[in-house]
Amino acid sequence: MKRITWIFLLSIGLYPLYAQMEKEPKEEWIEPFLENYNQTYTDAFETGNLELLVQYLREDLYFMPSFQKAALKKEHVRAYYQAFFERFEVRACEREILEIVDLGAKVLELGSVSWELSEGVGNDTLHGKYLNVWEKGSNQALQLVAAGWNYNHFVDFADRLRFRTVPTIHLALASHVPIDNPISFDLAALNALSEKTISQGNAEVWAQMYSDDGMFIYSFNPFYQGRKALDDFLQKHVQELPVFEHLDIRTFAIDNLENGYVIEYATHVANWRNGKDSGVSTGKGIRVLRREPSGSLKVFRHISMYD
């Protein structure tokens, strides 16, 4: 399998994260399966063989690329990859697994990924981070039920990464889950507090939403994991935010696992103002939350993507 070099890991701030991570107890077959998938992934991008990617997908899934609205069906993800390969030649693709977490019925996979793209006469390189949610099936196999990724840097050709012929859904404008059980109530309350906290630029309260070993996989940044890294990042980040005239954070879907973990598929709509500039932005994300011994529901892993 192709490996990203330590020099590359250092350049995007991943070496401390990689060194900190402890191996989670997991069934022995999971890691070899995902290593094989990642080799298949790089082969698929370098050969343009989309069938290598599609074979791992569940029929219904949450597919959330940056700069693209979400796709919720296998056939629509196929259309996304088809459009991608028609627009870009992938000269090189590298992918590195940084963490595997066995959640029982589901498995989290987190890592780094890069693509060297060619379109006509120009070349561009993208360095990013991803979070995959897998579902265990029979015969020691996994199916991909959710995938999200973003980039460590600003992308000046973001519009070329949007494929408007692909059937997608604007999750931020779709209906949210009803508040009719304890988990949906907890998430609605957490989202309401998040709206107020982020709009006020209150980094201290925002940081409390994450577990001490939590991770925020934020666009245009490296990974941030652990109490100090999260505290430092959020304190800096709130100073960079625009004024939010309105911020709406919603829950599109919930997967409530039996072991204290909750997977939330979330969206946001932000009406913002920054000096003379203003606009409306939308996005989506995957939050994995964990019930702490205190009873609090805290964010364990969180990735967000802009539309």
| 56-97 pLDDT per residue, tens | 999 999 999 999 999 999 999 999 999 999 999 999 999 999
pLDDT at 4: 39
pLDDT at 176: 93
Strands (E), 189-276: 210-217, 223-225, 243-256, 261-274
pLDDT at 15: 38
Lowest-confidence segment of 23-37, 143-157, 230-244 by average pLDDT: 23-37
pLDDT at 85: 96
According to DSSP, the β-strands at 210-217 and 297-306 are parallel
SS3 179: coil
| 147-192 pLDDT per residue, tens | 999 999 999 999 999 999 999 999 999 999 999 999 999 999 999 9
**% of the chain beyond a pLDDT of 90:** 88
Tokens 């209906």 — which residue?
175
Q: Which pair of tokens denotes residue 18?
A: 């990689």
- The pTM (predicted TM-score) of the whole model is 0.90
pLDDT band for 121, please (50, 70, 90 cuts). Answer: low
**% of the chain beyond a pLDDT of 70:** 91
pLDDT at 116: 96
pLDDT at 139: 87
CA 20 to chain centre: 20
DSSP conformation letters of 152-208:
SS--TTGGGG--TTS--B-GGGSPPPP--SHHHHHHHHHHHHHHHHHHHT-HHHHHH
According to DSSP, the β-strands at 142-151 and 57-64 are parallel
pLDDT band for 9, please (50, 70, 90 cuts). Answer: very low
12 has pLDDT over 80? no
290 has pLDDT over 70? yes
pLDDT at 239: 96
